[in-house]
Amino acid sequence: MNFTIAKDVILNHLLISQKALSTKTPAPYLQGIKLEVYPHELVLITSNSDISIKISIKDESLKVENVGQILVPGKYFVEIMRKMNGTEVAFSVVDNNTLRIQAGNSDVTLNMINVEDYPDIQFITNDNPIKIDAKVMKSVIRQTTFAASAIENRPILTGVNIRVDGGKLTAIATDSFRLSQKHIDLPANFEKMNVVIPARSLDELSKVLELNLDEILIHLDHKSILFEYGNVLFQSRLLDGNFPETSRLIPVEFPIVIKFNKNDLFVAIDRASLLSAREGSASIVKLNLRADNVVEITSNSPEIGKVNEEVFPLDKVLGSSIKIAFSAKFFMEALKTFNSEQVYVKFTGEIRPFVIEGELDPGLVQLILPVRTE
Residues making contact with a copy of itself (CB under 8 A) = 73, 76, 79-80, 83-85, 98, 105-111, 267-268, 270-271, 274-275, 303-312
Instruction: Compare residues 231 and 301 and give the one whose CB is closer to a copy of itself.
Output: 301
Cα angle value 193/124/23 (rounded, 5°):
100
For the CB of residue 157, give the shortest distance to a copy of itself in the complex, in Å. 32
Minimum Å gap between C-beta 261 and a copy of itself is: 12
State the Cα–Cα distance between residues 317 and 287, nearest whole angstrom: 14
Cβ at position 274, least distance to a copy of itself in Å: 5
When the beta carbons of 176 and 308 are compared against a copy of itself, the nearer one is 308
Q: Which residues contact 294 (CB under 8 A, 6 or more apart)?
A: 310, 311, 312, 313
Instruction: Report the nearest approach of a copy of itself to the CB of residue 372 (Å).
Output: 25
Min CB(336)–a copy of itself separation in Å: 16
Q: Phi then psi for 15, rounded to 5 degrees?
A: -65, -25
Q: Which is nearer to a copy of itself, 84 or 239 (CB)?
A: 84
Q: Is 39 exposed, middle or buried (0-12, 13-18, 19+ CB in 10 A)?
A: exposed
- Closer Cβ to a copy of itself, 26 or 39, answer by number: 26
Query: Of 139 and 276, which CB lies nearer to a copy of itself in the complex structure?
Result: 276
From the number of C-beta atoms within 10 Å of its C-beta (0-12, 13-18, 19+), residue 303 rates as exposed
Distance CA(33)–CA(77), nearest Å, equals 8
